[in-house]
Amino acid sequence: MNLTKISAPLPPANLSKVKISILETECAKALDDLKNKHAKGRDYGTPTISPMASVRSKAGYPGPFQEEALKFVAWEDQCQIKAYQILDDVLSGKRQPPASTDAFLAELPTLVW
């Protein structure tokens, strides 16, 4: 997930570019880990394909896993939108960054299979 696509004003004075970069990197990793955790919990993935990639691959094909995969992909999109919103709000000075990756994840939508 590349959170640097959002163009926004310079960050608030109390946030350095280094802190913003660390925030983006840590939150992106936490979100990817969460996606993989959810997908792996439903037995998606192989030794060579990540759980998140495996569940995504089922969304485009009719079959017994398509409905579940579509729910995952829709949730994944909602998470991406929220993550970009959080980053944009931080960069524009509307809010402080999440206190931790756990705080960031708590702001994301819940996956309902």
DSSP assignment of 71-89: HHHHHHHHHHHHHHHHHHH
32 and 1 Cβ atoms separated by less than 8 Å? yes
Confirm whether 111 is domain-assigned. Answer: no
Run of H or E residues at 93: none
Confirm whether 113 is domain-assigned. Answer: no
Phi/psi region, residue 88 (left: phi>0; alpha: psi -120 to 50; beta: rest), is alpha
In this predicted structure, the answer to whether residue 48 has a pLDDT above a threshold of 70 is yes
Confirm whether 9 is domain-assigned. Answer: no
Q: What is the pLDDT of residue 13?
A: 57
Q: How far apart are CA 19 and CA 7, in angstroms?
A: 17
Confirm whether 112 is domain-assigned. Answer: no
Supply the range of the domain harboring residue 60. 15-106
In this predicted structure, the answer to whether residue 11 has a pLDDT above a threshold of 60 is no
Q: How far apart are CA 78 and CA 44, in angstroms?
A: 20
Number of structural domains, the chain?
1
In this predicted structure, the answer to whether residue 37 has a pLDDT above a threshold of 60 is yes
User: Phi and psi dihedrals of 76, rounded to 5?
Assistant: -60, -45
Of the pLDDT bands very low, low, confident and very high (cuts 50, 70, 90), residue 12 is low
Confirm whether 96 is domain-assigned. Answer: yes
Of 1-15, 25-39, 44-58, the range with the lowest mean pLDDT is: 1-15
Q: How far apart are CA 47 and CA 82, in angstroms?
A: 30
**pLDDT single digits (tens) 50-103:** 999 999 999 999 999 999 999 999 999 999 999 999 999 998 889 989 989 999
Q: What is the pLDDT of residue 21?
A: 84
Confirm whether 25 is domain-assigned. Answer: yes
Length of the chain counted residue by residue:
113
Q: What is the pLDDT of residue 57?
A: 95
Q: What is the pLDDT of residue 79?
A: 97
Confirm whether 63 is domain-assigned. Answer: yes
